[in-house]
């Protein structure tokens, strides 16, 4: 285990860690050195004049540094940034308004300063998730992008998770843009970054826990940082492998935090309902996530009350699944906890909210060992007192602990008659397995075993002597008859 306490923090803001630790220079972007070199080379051509291809497509899976690299490039080059993301409409008119004159002429900075491109001043136009510009709301968007690239006097970066999906409908767009591939980041590189964050945030950790987070991220740096942040909230003591295991596996098509954002911030119940279609979480787990983060998003008492009403309805349906194995009720539970909770708010919510990993799941993970020991003890005692394991667990065990501490006979009976192990007796007596009182109990048990074994051995020897004596008498009888 590595301790990183009492180290100075570089930042103290409450912003999302993915933003707090976003690189400010291309050299700080991890895991894609070849891609960042190509991007810097393309940008340098704008300083010398204009490159052959005035736009680039940064292609690769989500969370591996594409948008980060674009923003770091602009910061390093001293360029202004105009960014259009997936939450905006990207149709013909929207893109015209977004670009304005800045892409084809001198431009004004965000602060209002005049920045002529002939003096090397540039505005970087970034179009995020460009491969999603194909819906009805985005009609004409791709054609307008093509026109803009042909006329531009400013650098343009398109960011795409699926390069084929972006270019299959426009060969012209494919020819106009330089493609730069970004690859998933290596596990060892992600672990090194997580170590730095832990050092900066005063987090104690097991190295196995950081490796497990990196393994789970599958090359996605953003997901790894978010997992570390969610696990660190409310963490007492060091971050261990047990906490990471409680997160379960990740399905890359849909992550829990973006799903929560759709349910808790969006005003459209249908989108909220559809947001869980590709989510690899059972309803019994999803409801815990929503329960934990609902008060973080809904500050209005009426919205919060209505949201918990729908969450309670979902819980009723989940209870029917548990009791009756009626899995059809999952459908109603999902609708209540997504569309129902979403429709509880008076208006859509914006901004950034720090969503947390459910404290209930963490508590259940922490108590798993204790619950397993209780179940094992109960199953051994129940037949001896003609009861069930459940009743022993809930009604008998709470009184057994104080009684056992005072009464040696009870302790001996638990060991000898019920067959409790050293670990189970240590749990009952609230002691260590290697403590003197535990060793004393099991030393007596071992002595009795040895006595029993010796007794069985002596009885066996007597039987053998008797058999030999009988054989001798038989031989004597035969010899007398023959004589």
Helix (H, G, I), strand (E, B) or coil at 81: strand
CA atoms within 13 A on the CB side of 430: 9
Q: Is the pTM of this model over 0.75?
A: no
Q: In the chain, where are the structural domains located? A: 32-181, 269-366, 369-483
Strand order in the sheet with 177-181: 80-84, 123-127, 156-160, 55-59, 177-181
Please state, in angstroms and rounded to a whole number, the distance separating the CA atoms of residues 381 and 419.
9
**Per-residue pLDDT tens listing for the chain (483 residues):** 443 333 333 444 446 788 889 999 999 999 999 999 999 999 999 887 778 888 999 999 888 999 999 999 999 999 988 887 654 555 566 666 666 545 555 444 444 454 544 455 688 989 887 877 654 444 567 788 888 888 888 899 999 988 887 887 788 888 999 999 999 999 999 999 999 999 998 999 999 999 999 998 889 998 899 889 888 876 778 898 888 877 665 544 346 888 888 899 888 999 899 888 777 677 888 899 999 999 988 988 999 999 999 999 999 999 988 888 787 788 899 999 999 999 999 888 876 777 777 877 666 655 667 778 888 888 888 888 888 888 888 888 888 878 888 788 888 888 888 888 888 888 888 888 778 878 877 876 665 555 544 444 444 444 455 555 555 555 544 443 333
**Phi/psi of residue 309, each to 5°?**
-60, -50
DSSP-derived secondary structure letter, 386 = T
What's the confidence (pLDDT) of residue 252? 41
Helices 408-416 and 397-406, axial angle in degrees (round to 10): 120
Let me know: does 176 contact 55? Beta carbons within 8 Å.
yes
CB burial of residue 170 (10 Å; 0-12, 13-18, 19+): middle
What's the confidence (pLDDT) of residue 257? 80
Q: How many helices (H) and strands (E) does the chain have?
A: 24, 7
Please state, in angstroms and rounded to a whole number, the distance separating the CA atoms of residues 401 and 392.
12
Pairing relationship of beta strands 55-59 and 114-115 according to DSSP bridges: unpaired
Let me know: does 59 contact 179? Beta carbons within 8 Å.
yes
Please state, in angstroms and rounded to a whole number, the distance separating the CA atoms of residues 334 and 317.
9
Superfamily of domain 32-181: P-loop containing nucleotide triphosphate hydrolases (3.40.50.300)
Please state, in angstroms and rounded to a whole number, the distance separating the CA atoms of residues 341 and 272.
9
DSSP-derived secondary structure letter, 159 = E
Pairing relationship of beta strands 156-160 and 80-84 according to DSSP bridges: unpaired
- The strand pairing partners of 157, in sequence order, are 56, 126
> Which pair of tokens denotes residue 115?
């920045």
DSSP-derived secondary structure letter, 339 = I
What's the confidence (pLDDT) of residue 112? 46
Let me know: does 169 contact 121? Beta carbons within 8 Å.
no
Helix (H, G, I), strand (E, B) or coil at 2: strand
Please state, in angstroms and rounded to a whole number, the distance separating the CA atoms of residues 79 and 242.
45
What's the confidence (pLDDT) of residue 81? 87
Torsion sign over Cα 275, 280, 284, 285: negative
Question: Measured between alpha carbons, how far is residue 181 from residues 60, 186, 217, 242, 298 in Å?
Answer: 6, 15, 19, 36, 40
What's the confidence (pLDDT) of residue 470? 52
Helices 66-77 and 33-48, axial angle in degrees (round to 10): 40
Please state, in angstroms and rounded to a whole number, the distance separating the CA atoms of residues 176 and 173.
5
Place of tokens 């989510």: 279
Closest CA to 174 of 165, 183, 185, 182: 165
Torsion sign over Cα 342, 346, 348, 352: negative
């Amino acid at each position: 285990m590595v301790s990183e306490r009492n180290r100075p923090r570089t930042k103290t803001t409450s912003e999302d860690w993915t933003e707090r630790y976003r690189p400010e220079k291309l050299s700080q972007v991890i895991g894609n050195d070849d891609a960042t070199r190509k991007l810097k080379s393309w940008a340098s051509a704008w300083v010398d004049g204009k490159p052959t291809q005035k736009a680039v497509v940064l292609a690769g899976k989500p969370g591996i540094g594409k948008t980060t690299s674009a923003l770091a490039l602009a910061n390093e080059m001293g360029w202004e940034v105009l960014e259009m993301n997936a939450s905006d409409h990207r149709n013909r008119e929207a893109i015209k308004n977004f670009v304005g004159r800045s892409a084809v002429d001198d431009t004004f900075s965000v602060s209002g300063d005049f920045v002529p491109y002939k003096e090397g001043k540039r505005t970087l136009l970034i179009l995020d998730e460009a491969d999603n510009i194909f819906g009805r709301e985005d009609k004409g968007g791709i054609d307008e992008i093509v026109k803009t690239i042909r006329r531009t006097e400013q650098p343009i970066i398109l960011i795409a998770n699926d390069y084929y999906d972006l270019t299959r409908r426009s060969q012209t767009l494919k020819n106009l843009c330089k493609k730069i591939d970004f690859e998933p980041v290596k596990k060892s590189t992600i672990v090194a970054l997580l170590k730095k964050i832990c050092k900066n945030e005063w987090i104690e950790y097991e190295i196995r826990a950081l490796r497990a987070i990196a393994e789970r991220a599958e090359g996605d740096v953003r997901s790894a940082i978010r997992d570390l942040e969610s696990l660190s909230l409310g963490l007492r003591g060091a971050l261990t492998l047990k906490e990471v295991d409680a997160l379960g596996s990740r399905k890359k098509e849909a992550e829990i935090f973006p799903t929560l954002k759709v349910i808790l911030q969006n005003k459209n119940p249908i989108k909220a309902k559809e947001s869980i279609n590709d989510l690899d979480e059972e309803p019994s787990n999803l409801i815990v996530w929503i329960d934990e983060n609902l008060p973080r998003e809904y500050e209005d008492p009426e919205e919060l009350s209505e949201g918990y009403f729908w969450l309670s309805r979902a819980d009723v349906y989940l209870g029917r699944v548990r009791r009756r194995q009626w899995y059809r009720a999952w459908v109603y539970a999902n609708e209540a906890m997504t569309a129902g909770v979403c429709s509880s708010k008076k208006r859509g919510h914006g901004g950034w909210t720090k969503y947390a990993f459910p404290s209930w799941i963490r508590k259940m993970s922490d108590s798993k060992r204790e619950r397993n020991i209780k179940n094992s003890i109960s199953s051994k005692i129940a037949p001896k007192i003609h009861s069930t394991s459940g009743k022993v667990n809930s009604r008998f065990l709470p009184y057994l602990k104080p009684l056992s501490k005072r009464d040696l006979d009870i302790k001996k009976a638990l060991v000898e008659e019920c067959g409790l192990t050293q670990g189970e007796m240590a749990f009952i007596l609230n002691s260590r397995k290697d403590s003197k009182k535990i060793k004393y109990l099991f030393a007596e048990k071992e002595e009795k075993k040895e006595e029993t074994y010796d007794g069985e051995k002596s009885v066996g020897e007597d039987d053998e002597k008797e058999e030999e004596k009988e054989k001798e008498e038989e031989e004597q009888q035969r010899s007398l008859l023959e004589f």
